[in-house]
Amino acid sequence: MSNSTSLVARLIALAGGAVLGTLLARWFDNTLTERVQERSERDRTRYAQGLAPIQFSQNNRINEGKLHDDTASYHDAG
């Protein structure tokens, strides 16, 4: 390959990577925004019912349909 062909190939690869990165960032941002909006709506609904928002952490795990925490266990009826 000549230098000009190599340069064109590199520019195409660079542009393709930029486009792919932009698309992935947009998809990730939309997904994250949807999850936050859903959680906010759930919290608003729970607040209207007089319940506290659901708190999730890395220490929580799902076991037999109940949500367990290292310090306390509870079952979310909502």
Higher pLDDT: 48 or 57? It is: 48
pLDDT (tens digit, 9 = 90+) per residue, 28-56?
999 999 999 999 998 888 888 888 777 76
Higher pLDDT: 15 or 71? It is: 15
pLDDT at 61: 52
Higher pLDDT: 76 or 50? It is: 50
**Could you tell me the two tokens for 5?**
């062909």
